[in-house]
Each structure stands twice: as structure tokens, then as C-alpha cells.
């Protein structure tokens, strides 16, 4: 297929391993569970799987607190299971992207145990220890400094106190981290998602952050000394050198407190391939359903990424956000979720699809006592945390939605008897078939994968654009409203290639999506 480059033309599907499929009946998803659904993923039409962490973890941040970077948590399987997963994915032409959480370790990691054992331990400098805290705040609430009574100093943690930040300025740390990349590259991993990579380096003098207006103490300071330090770039250059010594490897950064221009500055031929700028989800309490707002965000991103020759990423859902279907849909109807999916799959950039998004899974709601996620426990009821979007995958209408044969770690959404993969596979109008058809169309249509983006002027409440290559043009039209909108018939020899409803040329029915193509 032309010059298909998997991370640029393809679609990356995020799996939160503990919630995807439980093969051994312990209520937690695992690697073999994923292996057993590789045919499903291949048939769906995705190109790569991003696995959220499955390394050993005391679960203070559900896997994002790693206690050993080069092993598999026995609850999720073994290294041999991981090799099977890589092999199975590769056999089907799919790639594997690993989540590496290297800004901090778990406090149970051997490195931190040593570092915190005495002030003169040889690994003391592997973490950031000080006599006195500065004003830095942890993202999950409270001071970013924790006092260690044993060694009578404070250590830095930008997340929970069980996630101490490592000292990336120490050359031994950097070497150890590059060895982690090497380890997984040797196991056949195709790419990495770097958790909060732009926080690796801190200002060495640890000055206070200057104040600004905000709600939480965390938001009442400008984060200029705790993230985005210049030393990040030489490290990215070194990392890219390592990745490029293997064929077609990839790294995407999760930019902490992402700002578009800053995000772009981390990408390029000798830096990251891509970094999330979260253009459509950057505020996790406010998600506009307004085509004018979307067009604004899209054109801002288009201008900035085109100018820098950077390939964008598109994210509508992940393990940190309320699901797109929960944000935009009313009741059971999936019309708005389909529209969101169309944006995800037809904008210029690599789409990241979150497990369950293909069946428009909704967030679960939990009572206060059931909440597991640390920021949810801290800020309830203003912020209820991220458990909602992490519930078990809904495979069928059997008990526990076919995810497991025992009670899962988080409750299954009560709608699973109606909303599940098996039921939707059998229904031609389902969200599943909508997503699958669009994924396959995208694969066969170079303009949708590679084409430039050209915005079009359309009636209020609608959004339209072209995706264009030298020899193909696709017209995308969407109606964000729950009422019909008349819209001029496109001039020229357009062929209707996709619609969610009637596909009539002179109008768009409520929430309708239409795609036309011209060669």
C-alpha cells in the first residue's frame, strides 16, 4: 500500500491492560487476555497497540508507579507472555507501543529503596533530595515534597508521594534509563509512549514557581521551573539516535501541562516523532460541542504543525479523561459519539483510539467509598478521578461482560447487556460497525491518511473540510446539531463514500456525517 508508515498513516489503539480481558479469572486483565483478542483488533482495522504499563507496581497510581522497569507484574503475566503478544501482533502486521513511566519510579523500586536508605548511599543522588521544600505542588494535590524521617531530608514527587521523581541530571540515571529502552527494543517493541517526559529535568536550583491565578494551589503557580528545561532536548537527541539504530521505531511524548508550541519544539527528525498536544481535551472539565470552537482548535494546530513540519496526534479519550461518548452523547444515542469518532479518524494526524471507544463505552459512576484513583479520593466531589473511564471492556452480555469470570477490579458499566462488542458486531448501524467501516475506508484512502487539511465555510452548526493529496480529494461534512441543516451540494464530480444517515447531498440530518471523494 503506497508508502504506508505505520505511526504516521496508521491508527494506534490504547489498551489499559488491567481492564481489557482477564484470562486467568483474578478480576484483572492480563497479557494473555490481550493475545486472545489480537484477531479482533486486526479485524477492527487498527495498526498498533499502545499498552499502558504492565510492569510490577504497588498500584498507588495503577501502574504509573513502576517498581521494576524490565519485568512483567505477575498479575499481568510473564515476559514470555509479552513475547507471545509481540509475536502475535507482528504476525498480523500490528505494532506494539510501550508506555514508559520514567519521570518517577515507585517508592518500592530498588533504586529508591537504596536512595532512601541513607544520605551517603551510592544511589542517593538518583532522586531529588533537599533540606527544605520549595513552593512546588504535586499534580495530585499537596506539596511536591515529602519528608523522610529516616534520612531527615525531603524528596521531590510531582505526583503521589509514592512516586518519587528521579534525578535525570545524574549520568548514571540516564544510562540506566537508556538501558530500559534497549531492553524492550530487544524484545521487539516498535515504539514508546513517554509518560510526562517534559518533566524529566527540573531547574537545578529548584527556585519557587511564580504565582498566577488559579483554583487549586497547583494551578496558582506558573510551572516554569519544574518542567520544560533545556536539557530535555539533548536527551531526546540521544534517545532518537538509539531508536534510529533499529528500523521504523517510534516515540510519542505525553507532554505534561501541554502547550502547543512547546509540544512541537520536542518533535523533529532528531527528537520525538510526535508529542500529544491534547488540542481537543486540554481542559478536563470543559469539552465544547461547538463546530466553531473545533475549527479554531484545528486551524491553530494545522498552522503550527505545518510550519514546523510536525505530524500531529489526535486524542479524544484516554485513561486520564472522561470518555468522549460520555462527554458528548445524551442518553443511549451514539450519534454524537459517531461524530466525535469521525473527527478523530478524518483530521490530519495520527488518531489514538482508546479501548471501548469503538463501542462508545460510557464512564461508570462510583460512590465516594468505591473510588480508587488518588486524585479522585483527594478532590471528590469536585473531581471524581479517573476510575470512570477505566472500567472493564464490554465484550458480550455474559456476566461481567465477558471480561472475566469473576468480579473485576472496577465495576462493569451496567449498560453492558445492551452495549457490548458481540451485540454491536451483529448490528450494521452500531457504533462498532461505524468505526470499523471508517477505519477501513481510512486505510484505503490516501487523502484521509496523508492529505493536507483545507477548512471550508459552512452554515452555523456544521463543520466541513477537505483532505487533499495530489491525486485525490475527500470532502468531510458534519452536522453538530440535533436539527436538520440545509447545505449546498458540493460542486463537481463527487462520489459519496460514507455517511452515518441519509447521505442526501443538499442537507445534513441531525448529527450526520458525510464523506465524498474525487479522484
Residue 355 in contact with ligand NOJ, rule: CB under 6 A: no
Could you tell me the smallest distance in angstroms from the CB atom of residue 356 to ligand NOJ?
17
Among 319, 362, 384, 477, binds ligand NOJ (CB under 6 A): 319
- Residue 131 annotated as catalytic: no
Closer Cβ to ligand NOJ, 124 or 157, answer by number: 157
Question: Which string of x and - marks every residue 67-106 that binds ligand NOJ (by CB under 6 A)?
Answer: ----------------------------------x-----
Q: Is 338 in the site for ligand NOJ (CB under 6 A)?
A: no
The size of the interface with ligand NOJ (CB under 6 A), counted in residues, is 9
Is residue 244 part of the annotated active site? The answer reads no
Catalytic residue among 165, 195, 302, 512: 195
Contact call for residue 196 and ligand NOJ (CB under 6 A): yes
Whether the Cβ atoms of residue 201 and residue 229 lie closer than 8 Å to each other: yes
Instruction: Look at strands 452-456 and 350-354 and give their pairing.
Output: unpaired
Q: What are the residues whose beta carbons fall under 8 Å from the beta carbon of 497, sequence distance 6 or more?
A: 441, 445, 474, 515, 516, 517
DSSP for 49-92 reads: EEEPP-S----SSTTSS-S-TTS--TTT--HHHHHHHHHHHHHT
Contact between 442 and ligand NOJ by CB under 6 A: the answer reads no
Among 6, 7, 64, 328, binds ligand NOJ (CB under 6 A): 64
Q: Which is nearer to ligand NOJ, 160 or 404 (CB)?
A: 160
- How far apart, in whole angstroms, are the C-alpha atoms of residue 427 and residue 422? 9
Q: Which is nearer to ligand NOJ, 291 or 376 (CB)?
A: 376
Question: 392 to 431, contacts with ligand NOJ by CB under 6 A?
Answer: none
DSSP letter, residue 427 = -
Distance CA(283)–CA(82), nearest Å, equals 35
320 binds ligand NOJ (CB under 6 A): yes
User: What residues are paired with 96 via a beta bridge?
Assistant: 49
Q: What is the rounded radius of gyration, in angstroms, for the C-alpha atoms of the chain?
A: 23
Structure-block grid coordinates of residue 256: 505534561
Integer Cα distance of 282 and 279 in angstroms: 6
Residue 177 binds ligand NOJ, judged by CB under 6 A: no
Cross-strand pairs, 12: 48, 352
- Least distance between ligand NOJ and beta carbon 278 (Å): 11
The SS3 call for residue 12 is strand
477-516 binders of ligand NOJ (CB under 6 A): none
**Which has the closest alpha carbon to 292: 480, 484, 514?**
480
- Closest distance of CB 163 from ligand NOJ, Å: 7
Which position among 9, 22, 47, 61 is part of the footprint of ligand NOJ (CB under 6 A)? 61
CB of 481 to ligand NOJ, least distance (A): 33
Cell of 68: 521494576
Catalytic residue among 22, 254, 357, 387: 254
Given the rule CB under 6 A, which residues bind ligand NOJ? 61, 64, 101, 159, 195-196, 254, 319-320
Active site residues: 195, 254
Amino acid at each position: 500500500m503506497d508508502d504506508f508508515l505505520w505511526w504516521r498513516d496508521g491508527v494506534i489503539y490504547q489498551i489499559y491492560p488491567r481492564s481489557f480481558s482477564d484470562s486467568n479469572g483474578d478480576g484483572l486483565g492480563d497479557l494473555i487476555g490481550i493475545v486472545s483478542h489480537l484477531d479482533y483488533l486486526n479485524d477492527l482495522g487498527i495498526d498498533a497497540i499502545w499498552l499502558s504499563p504492565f510492569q510490577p507496581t504497588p498500584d498507588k497510581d495503577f501502574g504509573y508507579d513502576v517498581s521494576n522497569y524490565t519485568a512483567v507484574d505477575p498479575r499481568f503475566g510473564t515476559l514470555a507472555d509479552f513475547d507471545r503478544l509481540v509475536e502475535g501482533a507482528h504476525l498480523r502486521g500490528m505494532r506494539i507501543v510501550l508506555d514508559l513511566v520514567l519521570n518517577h519510579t515507585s517508592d518500592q523500586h530498588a533504586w529508591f529503596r537504596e536512595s532512601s536508605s541513607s544520605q551517603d548511599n551510592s544511589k542517593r543522588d538518583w532522586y531529588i533530595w533537599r533540606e527544605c521544600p520549595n513552593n512546588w505542588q504535586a499534580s495530585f494535590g499537596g506539596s511536591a515534597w515529602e519528608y523522610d524521617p529516616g534520612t531527615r531530608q525531603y524528596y521531590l514527587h510531582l505526583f503521589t508521594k509514592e512516586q518519587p521523581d528521579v534525578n535525570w541530571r545524574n549520568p548514571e540515571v540516564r544510562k540506566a534509563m537508556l538501558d530500559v529502552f534497549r531492553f524492550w527494543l530487544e524484545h521487539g517493541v516498535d515504539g514508546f509512549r513517554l509518560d510526562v517526559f517534559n518533566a524529566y529535568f527540573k531547574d537545578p536550583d529548584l527556585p519557587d514557581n511564580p504565582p498566577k491565578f488559579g483554583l487549586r494551589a497547583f494551578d496558582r503557580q506558573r510551572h516554569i521551573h519544574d518542567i520544560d528545561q533545556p536539557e530535555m532536548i539533548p536527551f531526546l537527541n540521544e534517545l532518537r539516535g538509539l531508536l534510529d539504530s533499529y528500523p521504523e521505531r517510534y516515540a510519542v511524548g505525553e507532554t505534561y501541562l501541554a502547550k502547543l508550541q512547546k509540544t512541537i519544539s520536542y518533535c523533529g527528525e532528531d527528537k520525538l516523532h510526535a508529542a500529544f498536544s491534547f488540542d481537543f481535551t486540554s481542559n478536563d472539565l470543559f469539552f465544547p460541542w461547538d463546530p466553531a470552537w473545533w475549527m479554531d482548535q484545528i486551524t491553530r494546530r494545522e498552522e503550527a504543525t505545518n510550519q514546523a513540519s510536525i505530524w500531529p496526534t489526535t486524542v479524544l479519550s484516554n485513561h486520564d479523561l472522561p470518555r468522549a461518548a460520555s462527554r458528548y452523547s445524551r442518553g443511549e444515542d451514539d450519534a454524537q459519539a459517531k461524530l466525535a469518532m469521525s473527527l478523530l479518524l478524518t483530521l490530519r494526524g495520527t488518531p489514538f483510539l482508546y479501548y471501548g471507544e469503538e463501542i462508545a463505552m460510557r464512564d461508570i459512576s462510583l460512590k465516594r467509598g468505591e473510588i480508587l484513583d488518588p486524585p479522585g479520593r483527594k478532590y471528590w466531589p469536585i473531581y471524581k478521578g479517573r476510575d470512570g473511564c477505566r472500567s472493564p471492556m464490554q465484550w458480550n452480555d455474559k456476566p461481567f461482560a465477558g471480561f472475566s469470570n469473576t468480579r473485576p477490579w472496577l465495576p462493569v458499566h451496567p449498560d453492558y447487556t445492551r452495549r457490548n462488542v458481540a451485540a454491536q458486531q451483529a448490528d450494521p448501524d452500531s457504533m462498532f460497525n461505524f468505526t470499523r467501516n471508517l477505519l477501513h475506508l481510512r486505510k484505503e484512502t490516501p487523502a484521509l491518511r496523508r492529505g493536507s487539511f483545507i477548512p471550508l465555510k459552512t452554515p452555523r452548526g456544521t463543520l466541513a473540510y477537505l483532505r487533499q493529496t495530489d491525486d485525490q480529494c475527500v470532502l468531510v461534512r458534519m452536522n453538530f446539531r440535533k436539527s436538520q441543516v440545509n447545505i449546498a451540494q458540493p460542486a463537481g464530480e463527487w462520489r459519496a463514500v460514507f455517511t452515518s444517515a441519509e447521505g442526501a447531498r443538499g442537507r445534513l440530518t441531525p448529527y450526520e456525517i458525510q464523506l465524498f471523494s474525487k479522484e
